[in-house]
Structures are given as structure tokens and as C-alpha cells.
Chains A and B, each alone.
Chain A
């Protein structure tokens, strides 16, 4: 039995359909992420699990029990808020022990747990400080400690890394992964940042306009997006309008305006004559100057239009003869050279016949 089950949950705010018949099962011990653009309904769903909002129809079950009549304070579910929502008039120790002090815990139990928590969260020496005296990372750890002190079965994290700067965020990501596997508590994480979702999660649910687009492991989500939205939202991708010329088992021949024919892996449901979008990841596109790409089924000539140097990698935008622009991502691993190609270089680009995905309309 799944620990948390979302069963046909629908929620409307006036004319807006925030959640549209959402069904989801989350297993015990999972790091599960709800990923989507703002307004996709992910936060609404999280608030419902916490008990701050109720579905118009459908059920939310925790360990098989319907939560409908359980108020937030009675749910064994705690939340780490985006703003952390630390109590400004309480010290770090008072914040962390709040949940225990509101319940029936003995003084010795409270101080024992506080001690362990302070150690685990590396907050030694901060117990008497007030939230406004803490750094962003410390606030985040206090918020985590406060939500975990009662050892909930389920921890909800609402955009909990959004307020941290990029460097710290990476550090905290690693800490979160370690913490989750150490505690074995189910984490439900909400974010709009796809890199965060890919790095942290066991499984990800991509949401758009109140619906679940795809629920999968990060590598499947990235490698085999089920539709155009997922392909475009999770990672960067080149999207080209295309039409199916020929559909044979295992392979599709597509006509792309401005490029001619290309070969792509077959989609079970694609039929000859269907129109759609051919998508290919920038890191699957190769660039060469001479004939090194001649062996590839798909290769074209073009000119480098722009280069985005990012240190470890560079993004090259190549303009083909007919104006189509293809992005390619190449690692800068060759020693001694910052860029492999310069703007206005005439180049060949290409990709393997089994790279890319065709989504018909």
C-alpha cells in the first residue's frame, strides 16, 4: 500500500481549475518531487496534503486513511515553508522544540531531541540566537530541524531551496539527499526548478495547468519525456516542426521544413502523414568542420550564430542554410582551448538516427 495516495483530486478557484482529477501514489521512504511552472497546482496539492486546503472532490489518503476530517495540527505531516516561516520571537531552540512543546512531551525528552537535532543540523552554538541573526542556510536548517523534531511520517518541502543562493543550494541539495536516506522519511518536494528536481528525486511528477503530465524517475523523464510539455520543461531541447513521411518498425522518416528529411526513432503511435514536433537535446547534437559527421544519418551544414560560454560547457547556436536554428552543447574538456568554434565558422552538425523524439500533434 502506498503511504500517500491522491485519489481523483479536483480543486477550482473560481474559473481556474487548479487541480484536475489528479491521481498519485507515493511510497514510504521516497523522495518525491512535484515539478511544474508557477500556477500549475503543485503548491495547492501540497497545501491539501498539509491540510490548509481541501479538495472539491476526490480523496487524500495517508496510510490508507482518508485525511478529509483531520485538521492540519492533527496530521502526522510537517511542512518546510518557502519563507521558512520561523517564529521571529523565539530562539533557535524554541523554534525547533515548538512541535514538542505543543504536544505531551517530557522536559527530558524535549532536551534530548533538541540536542540530537542541533548536532545533526550543525547548529551548535546557535541555540540562543533569533531567526533574524541567522544566515539563509542556517534558517533553512532550523526550519528543517523544526519540521523533523516530531519525526513525522511525511515531510513536505515547499520550494524550500528557492531562497538560497546558487552555491549554497547545491550544498543543501546534497545535505537533503543524505538526510532523507538517513531518516528514511518520505519527502514530498515542490519546485519549479527542474535541475533541483532531477538532482534530488527518486521520482518526479511533472505538473501543468492542474494535470499530471508524467510521473517517472528523473532519467526516464529527461530521456523519454512523454509529451512536448515535459520535453520542453525538463531540460533544454531543440523543437522542430515535422511531418511523418514514412513509418517503419523502429524508425521514422520525417520531413522538416528548411532541413529536408531526417531519420528518427519510431514512436509506437506515429502514422505516415502525421504532423508534430521533433525534439532533440542539445547534448545529442554534434558539431564538426570537415567530414567527421558524414557517417551520421542526420547531418546538415550551417554557420555558428552565437556561443554561450559557461565554463564547463558551451552552447553553440548554429543557423542552417534555411534559417533553422539548432542548439548544441559541447563540453570544454579539450585542454588549452576555451572554444571549439567561433562565431561565423562554417560547420557541419549532425546527430545519430536513434537520437531525439517525435511528438505528433
Chain B
């Protein structure tokens, strides 16, 4: 194709460059032996060593991981339950309610959650409020993945399970669950990824008590931009890429190939 349309090829390349060049530069300068992100002066692991001894950074990273883990577990359970209910009962209102946070602008979600926590729940902002907020927006993503997997299955196999004497729980345990497991894992990884690098919603719901990795990086940038920011960004990027890659491999489409 690109032989016939060199301009198309060039446009695509330009678009990819626009998307990935900034990322590449961030990664490259994390190895730069200079305090400034201006010119290349030589290769170093220095900034990764600085990172390893930066207590605040490590605390923030720990918080982020904990929040991501807990919110991903909760939203996977809730999202799966919602997907099954929507699929089985053609539950339009529930569908709408689960999917809305996915499409909602983050700023709106952040502000409204903040007001809700403070004015309605009188909740002290902290880990709990951040976890709840992350569950709100990631449940929909899990539900989308699981619903797609359910839709690809022959509806009759659930009838067949009951017909052959499986109780509703046995039917879920032996038939539904193994068949939607890849989609559940894909959804969970998506939820984890979304949680670990979320800034806007976390910013509104974290209060002063909790520092997460994205919030901490932002605060570092406000004072001085050292390549330490590049280094932590690189690590975060690696983690995210690994998770996205795993999620894509486990995505519901792979079901068709496997079975």
C-alpha cells in the first residue's frame, strides 16, 4: 500500500512521531548526565539511584500501588456482577448507570465526588476516598470487557449447565466464570492502569493526606524539573505498557481464537 501512497505513509509516520517522540525524549533524558533537560551530556543511571533513595517518591509510589490494587479488585468484582446482570436481564438503566462514569469528563467526576464526600458523606479525604473514586470510574471499563465476552458466548450453554443439574452457583463457578475470566483479567488490568496514573480525579479526592505518584510528580515539576521526573515517568510508562500489553493479549477477542 505505502508504495502507491507515499504521502499517506508519511502522514501516518508524522502522526506516530507526534504521539511517541515526546515519550521517547522523556525516556532518553532519564539517562542524561545533566540536571537540565536541555542538552545531552552523557549516559548515567544516576537519576534512577536518586529515585531509589527519594523517600517521598517511594511513599507516593507505594500509595499508588495500594490504591490501584484495591480499587482494581473492587471494581473487577462490581463490574463483573454488573456485566452479568446487564447481559442476563437486559437491564438498560443499570447499563446506563455503569457506563456513564466511563464517558463523563474526569474534571466533572472529580469535582462532583469531592462535593459528595464532603457535603453528603462528611468523609475525611484520604486513601478511602481515592479508592472509592477510582472504583467509580474503573467499574465501567471492567463491565465493558466482561459484557463483550458474554455477548460472544452461546446463550444456550448456560441453559445446558442448569439442564444438566448444575445449581446457579455451580453454573457460575464451572461455566460462566472460566469463560469470562480472560475478560475479567483484561478489565482488571485496565482498571489497575487507569488507577495508577490517574491525576485529575485523584487530585480532587485525595485531600492533603495522601500523595500518589502522579500527584507527587506534578508537585516536583512545579519546583524544579530534574531528570528524576523523567526516570520515574519512564518506570511508570514501562509498568503501564506491560499491563496494557497483557490486557490486550487477554482481551475477549482472543476467546474466539482459543475456543
Q: Give A contacts to B, CB under 8 Å.
A: 50-52, 71-74, 77-79, 81-83, 85-89, 98-99, 101-103, 130-132, 146-147, 150
Whether the pair A85, B170 counts as a contact (CB closer than 8 A) is no
In the assembled complex, the Cα of A329 lies from the Cα of B130 at a distance in Å of: 80
Whether the pair B179, A102 counts as a contact (CB closer than 8 A) is no
The residues of B that contact A132 with a CB separation of less than 8 Å are 259
How large, as a class, is the contact surface on chain B?
A: 10 to 19
The residues of B that contact A77 with a CB separation of less than 8 Å are 163
B248 at the interface (CB under 8 A from A): no
Cβ contacts B162-182/A at 8 Å (1 or 0 each): 111111001000110011000
In the assembled complex, the Cα of A86 lies from the Cα of B154 at a distance in Å of: 9
Whether the pair B163, A73 counts as a contact (CB closer than 8 A) is yes
**A89 and B159 contact, Cβ closer than 8 Å, known pairs A73-B167, A98-B164, A102-B165:** no
B156 at the interface (CB under 8 A from A): yes
B158 nearest CB across to chain A (Å): 9
Whether the pair A87, B162 counts as a contact (CB closer than 8 A) is no
Closest to A98 in B: B164
Whether the pair A89, B179 counts as a contact (CB closer than 8 A) is yes
Whether the pair B178, A89 counts as a contact (CB closer than 8 A) is yes
The residues of B that contact A52 with a CB separation of less than 8 Å are 159, 162-163
The residues of B that contact A74 with a CB separation of less than 8 Å are 165
Closest to A88 in B: B259
A sample of 20 cross-chain residue pairs with beta-carbon separation below 8 angstroms, ordered by A number, consists of A52-B159, A73-B165, A77-B163, A78-B163, A78-B164, A79-B160, A81-B156, A81-B159, A83-B156, A85-B154, A87-B160, A87-B175, A88-B157, A89-B179, A89-B259, A98-B161, A98-B164, A98-B174, A102-B164, A102-B166
B90 nearest CB across to chain A (Å): 15
**A50 and B163 contact, Cβ closer than 8 Å, known pairs A85-B154, A102-B170:** yes
The residues of B that contact A87 with a CB separation of less than 8 Å are 157, 160-161, 175
The residues of B that contact A72 with a CB separation of less than 8 Å are 159, 162-163
The residues of B that contact A88 with a CB separation of less than 8 Å are 153, 157, 179, 259
Contact of A98 among B154, B156, B166, B179 (CB under 8 A): B166
Closest to A97 in B: B164
